[in-house]
Amino acid sequence: MAVKDEQPPLHILFFPFLAPGHLIPAADMAALFAARGAKCTILTTPLNAAVIRSAVDRANDASADAERAPAIDIAVVPFPDVGLPPGVESGPALSSEADREKFFRGSQLLRDPFDRFLAEHKPDAVVSDSFFDWSADAAAEHGVPRLTFLGSSMFARACGSSMVRHNPVEAAPEDDPDAPVLLPGLPHLVVLRRSQMMDPKKRPDRWAFFQSMNAADDRSYGEVFNSFRDLEPEYLEHYETVLGRRAWLVGPVALASKELATRGAAAAADKGNNGLSPDAGGCLRWLDARPASSVVYVSFGTLSHFSPPELRELARGLDMSGKNFVWVVGGGADDTEESEWMPDGFADLLARGGRGVIIRGWAPQMVILNHAAVGGFVTHCGWNSTLEAVSAGVPMVTWPRYADQFYNEKLVVELLEVGVGVGSTDYASKLEARRVIAGEVVAEAIGKVMGDGEEAEAIRERARVLGEKARRAVEKGGSSYDDVGRLMEELMARRSPVNV
């Protein structure tokens, strides 16, 4: 009996949660592993497949040109019928709490097609979203190692683990939203306001789910992160030594194929396709005519919603800042009449040759952040946006809204010192109850990262250095490049020898 010299390529199944912020980095990560010789499959539903189709096609085209990596496949399964309208199968499409409950229930029913895929294809590993907590046991039943991926920072994951293990909110006065809450057991002193955190007593269902997620991640093979070692080294050590979890840092995943992504997005913007807003192409041409580092970019992702008073104050802040701006208007503004929130005179800033551009819809964010004219980013601190700013060396004005965003703000402002906060204090509260942040505060924060003072220059220099470290991490011989190789080698070594 001889052992075969040639083994089939490593096969990795990617199973991201059904929202763009989870899908897109998972597709980028699949492209990374495919470029190193792995066979990658992404399991998702029809409309979610459309979100990542162009990115997968570009990665496959690049692989074909290089005559190396196998194609990335998208395995499409129907979204379970749970009473949602046709075509509603992703986070941004949900318009009510009842729909969100149905959607969550439907996402849990994806276990059957997940089980079938594992049984029929027997992949070497599965990279599964933490929101699919049941996938840990399902993968174990099939003898497949489950690597978890949530698309957040190591810092935020460590904070979340501290929250679940210790529930420090319980000791804070319920009638004081500003009461400080210390997250214990972390490498740094991390203190948030009570109002910036989920209250387990008010959402026992969500609290129970987070506990289940954490337990499932504890018993998984390990976790892959869209991060890099130089960004949060203390939290890699904390994750492995204190939490006892294995981790591989393979990001920034979008940077690893930045040239391809930039070329594809820019071309798509010019043509007005690829799901981008028709405003995108004109925005890039407008940026070309602006001085270096003179533009502040404003975007809050796909799920954040703003009330008309909040939009009005943001617009006032952009006006008072005196900076050129590109503002991606979404999150509730798409269906709000501009007359309800646009201040007097603001439209003049948007006139031809004016100081500002508004994009309604999907913007080529990586292209914009890497444009020489952009010198600051007003962001909700979603991890994808945060890491794209870090990769581009752009300082941030932080305005978190919910989920891990308040943790990421702490990382950006207090640990990395590459951003300034506007003082957001309300975790996922209703729009009508949310505290409105004054335009003067917004303008001041923009000035602190884009102004002429020593503090602003120091912030920009730290951001620039981080951007260089991010780029080195994904280059051959960089820490993220090496982590991809180490994980692939380990998964290959788990295989039993193939006899002939």
Closest C-alpha to 298, from 310, 285, 288: 310
Type of residue at 287: L
Q: Which H or E run includes 285?
A: helix 279-288
**Burial class of residue 246 in the structure, from the number of CB atoms within 10 Å of its CB (0-12 exposed, 13-18 middle, 19+ buried):** middle
Going by the DSSP 8-state scheme, the letter that residue 3 receives in this structure is B
Respond yes or no on whether the N-terminal peptide bond of residue 168 is cis (omega within 30° of 0): no
Going by the DSSP 8-state scheme, the letter that residue 250 receives in this structure is -
- Find where tokens 């109850």 sit: 433
Token code pair at residue 477:
């011989």
Residue 485 C-alpha from the chain's centroid: 23
User: Is 166 among the residues known to form the active site?
Assistant: no
Type of residue at 157: R
Distance (Å, whole) CA 94 – CA 89: 8
Distance (Å, whole) CA 298 – CA 410: 19
Degrees, nearest 5: CA angle 462-464-466:
70
Q: Which of 28, 73, 129, 319 is catalytic?
A: 129
Paired with 358 in beta bridges are 327
Residues 6+ apart with CB under 8 A from 482: none
- Find where tokens 């270096």 sit: 292
Q: Which of 11, 22, 371, 380 is catalytic?
A: 22
The gap between the terminal CA atoms of the chain, to the nearest Å, is 6
Residues 6+ apart with CB under 8 A from 486: 248
User: Is 319 among the residues known to form the active site?
Assistant: no
CA distances from 404 to 158, 384, 409, 428 (A): 11, 12, 9, 11
Residues 6+ apart with CB under 8 A from 87: 47, 93
Residues designated catalytic = 22, 129
